[in-house]
Amino acid sequence: MKNQTAIVIGATGLIGFKLVKHILEDDNFSCLKVFTRRTLGINNKKLEENLVDFDRIEEWKEQLKGDVLFSAMGTTLQKAGSKAVQYKIDYTYQYETALAAANNGVKIYCLVSSAGANPRSSLFYSRMKGELDQAVEALPFRNIFIFRPSILDGERQESRRGEKIGLVLTGFFTKIPGLTKYRPISGELVAEAMIHVSQTAPKRKESEVFTLEEIFSLLN
């Protein structure tokens, strides 16, 4: 699948930035459109950087045209300051972008969700992620791929102290039999798996959800 146009939102995050890096190096993609609130500081002829206001998607939704949309946007409750703001970033912005892209004819959608995502969960974060998974599965993409990693490992552009502590604790507890399904995964591997799946989409089901173990096995 050559000369594709990729779209990335959440490009300043751990997985999003890795997606940008790999797409720019991948000969299958001739163009990368990034929609972001701040510049990535990258100079590459394949990169089309769009600085946008996600609260005003009506002003730029017509630009969401291409072959595959990678959605890797997300924040923490601490950084967002409230559940309402976190919901807007993690759910509303991503859903509205996906809806516009689907309506513009984008065929393939790859979403970073989370382990434990469930629209009926009693936990706010898991419920929010599950609601988004459920909502985007109803959109008219040709292929929808949802990735549910556990805690992410890798260098971020922003520091997340709670996540670093979580990595240490998770690394300890996942040595216990039965808890390996919660072991950390690198943002790099998730990004590579997402690109691999997008490139093999014609051979796959119309909609697939990849658990942590399945993400690990995708590139083996």
Q: Which residues are tagged catalytic?
A: 125, 129
Cβ neighbourhood burial of 102 (10 Å; 0-12, 13-18, 19+): buried
Run of H or E including 170: helix 161-173
Please give the single-letter amino acid code of residue 156: R
**Beta bridge partner(s), residue 7:** 33, 69
Contact 132, 91 (CB under 8 A): yes
Run of H or E including 133: helix 124-136
